[in-house]
């Protein structure tokens, strides 16, 4: 039988609700996103020339972890190796790695230490299944290597990440997209065989039984996967074009960028407002999901100030309103225009995102609900009930410009 994450790991994951996604690699030097090698058809020998230029001397693991903690994020998931095949840690299984760059340090080890020291933020790893560099993935004919050699590498790397970096809260796989067509342009994306997931996931279960497994296959989760993912969309939506609109009965994780790119893009100034980010966070929570919000640090090792500011502002809002997010589950009171709800053991949280008037109308409100108050400071909120329809009146002076939360109990 294929095993799932432990109940402890699952509960932790669902209670956490908010995490930081980090896309960081040698592509940061170019500043045109993490797909630049493919989009610009950069040959391997030319792309490899980035390695001797990579020296993120401003990287400060404690500062990144502190930023996540200030934002109210309970975990971070960082790219251990993206599709470009460059390992961002000191793997024994490849020379194509950050410890062979002028930087020499292992940022994943430093983050593991900083997370353990900070105590508020757990660490998870993104790992690409697809590899545009590895000779046993892309160049089997030329190298004489076999698909099994790639599997040894991939599985071996997961074993390293499981055993050498302390507690790992999540493994996030990417690059196996069964619904996407292989064409002439992307022929080298094609895997040479199965990823042998049962074996791969077995390594995680053996060494990190509390780590959730998320595989971004843009398809129905496979046995052994703990999470259904949505990328750049909320559950049930498919504006990005690669999400399934079927929502399965699994914990959910929505991952999104702050601007339009995962890896840093120098020309992308299209940053979402803090208000929109808070709305996405609570909309995800209202549907029973976590929100994994991405930052794409610079090649020098810093998180963009525009992103850090938004994260800190989210943290300020969460300090006052976190009870309506952490530990909650999908709302039991149905959403209405501009309003979503979350719930935690008999307490319902109404998130008022948009105002049509002073009044907020909720339907199907359980009879047990007797009172309404502002979560932020306990101010009473006028509540009128007619059968199962409840009307709340929220005067302008009590509203929060990001999201006003009313507690119904």
- Which spans of this chain sit near ligand FHN (rule: CB under 6 A)? 23, 34-35, 174, 216, 231, 255, 262
CB of 172 to ligand FHN, least distance (A): 8
Q: Copy the structure tokens of residue 310.
A: 């938004």
Q: Which is nearer to ligand FHN, 33 or 331 (CB)?
A: 33
CB of 372 to ligand FHN, least distance (A): 38
Strand order in the sheet with 389-393: 359-362, 389-393, 382-386
Contact 300, 58 (CB under 8 A): yes
In three-state secondary structure terms, 274 is helix
Identify the helix (H) or strand (E) that includes residue 230: strand 228-231
**Through-space distance between the first and last CA atoms of the chain, rounded to whole angstroms:** 42
CB of 33 to ligand FHN, least distance (A): 8
d(CA 325, CA 313): 16
CB of 160 to ligand FHN, least distance (A): 20
Q: Copy the structure tokens of residue 160.
A: 């390293």
Q: Which is nearer to ligand FHN, 35 or 103 (CB)?
A: 35
Q: Which is nearer to ligand FHN, 229 or 331 (CB)?
A: 229
CB of 175 to ligand FHN, least distance (A): 7
Contact 175, 127 (CB under 8 A): no
d(CA 254, CA 59): 27
d(CA 302, CA 57): 9
Q: Which is nearer to ligand FHN, 131 or 174 (CB)?
A: 174
Q: Which is nearer to ligand FHN, 70 or 231 (CB)?
A: 231
CB of 198 to ligand FHN, least distance (A): 23
Q: Which is nearer to ligand FHN, 226 or 313 (CB)?
A: 226
Contact 154, 148 (CB under 8 A): no
User: What does DSSP assign to residue 6?
Assistant: -
């Amino acid at each position: 039988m294929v095993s799932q994450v432990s109940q402890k790991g699952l509960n932790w994951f669902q209670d956490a609700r908010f995490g930081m996604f980090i896309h960081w690699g040698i592509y940061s030097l170019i500043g045109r996103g993490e797909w630049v090698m493919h989009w610009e058809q950069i040959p391997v020998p030319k792309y490899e020339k980035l390695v001797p230029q990579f020296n993120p001397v401003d990287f400060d693991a404690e500062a990144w972890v502190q930023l996540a903690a200030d934002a109210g994020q309970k975990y971070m998931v960082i790219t251990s190796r993206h599709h470009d095949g460059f390992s961002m840690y000191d793997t024994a299984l490849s020379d194509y790695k950050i410890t062979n760059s002028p930087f020499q340090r292992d940022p994943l080890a430093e983050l593991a230490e900083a997370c353990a020291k900070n105590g508020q933020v757990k660490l998870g790893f993104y790992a690409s299944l697809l590899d545009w560099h590895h000779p046993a993935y892309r160049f089997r004919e030329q190298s004489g290597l076999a698909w099994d050699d790639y599997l040894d590498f991939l599985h071996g790397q997961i074993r390293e990440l499981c055993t050498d970096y302390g507690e790992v809260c999540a493994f996030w796989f990417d690059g196996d997209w069964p619904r996407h067509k292989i064409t002439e342009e992307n022929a080298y994306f094609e895997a040479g065989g199965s990823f042998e997931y049962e074996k791969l996931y077995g390594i995680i279960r053996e060494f990190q039984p509390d780590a959730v497994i998320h595989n971004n296959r843009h398809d129905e989760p496979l046995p052994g996967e703990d999470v259904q993912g949505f990328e750049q969309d909320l559950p049930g939506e498919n504006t990005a074009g690669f999400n399934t609109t079927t929502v399965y009965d699994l914990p959910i994780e929505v991952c999104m960028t702050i601007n339009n790119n995962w890896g840093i893009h120098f020309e992308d100034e299209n940053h979402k407002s803090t208000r929109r980010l808070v709305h996405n966070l609570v909309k995800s929570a209202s549907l029973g999901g976590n929100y994994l919000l991405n930052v794409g640090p610079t090649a020098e090792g810093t998180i963009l100030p525009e992103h850090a500011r938004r994260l800190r502002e989210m943290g300020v809002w969460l300090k006052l309103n976190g009870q309506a997010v952490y530990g909650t589950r999908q709302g039991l009171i149905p959403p209405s225009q501009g309003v979503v709800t979350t719930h935690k053991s008999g307490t319902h949280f109404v998130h008022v995102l948009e105002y049509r008037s002073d009044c907020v109308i909720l339907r199907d409100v359980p009879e047990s609900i007797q009172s309404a108050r502002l979560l932020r400071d306990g101010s009473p909120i006028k509540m009128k009930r007619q059968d199962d329809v409840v009307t709340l009146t929220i005067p302008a002076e009590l509203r929060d410009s990001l999201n006003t939360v009313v507690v119904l109990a």
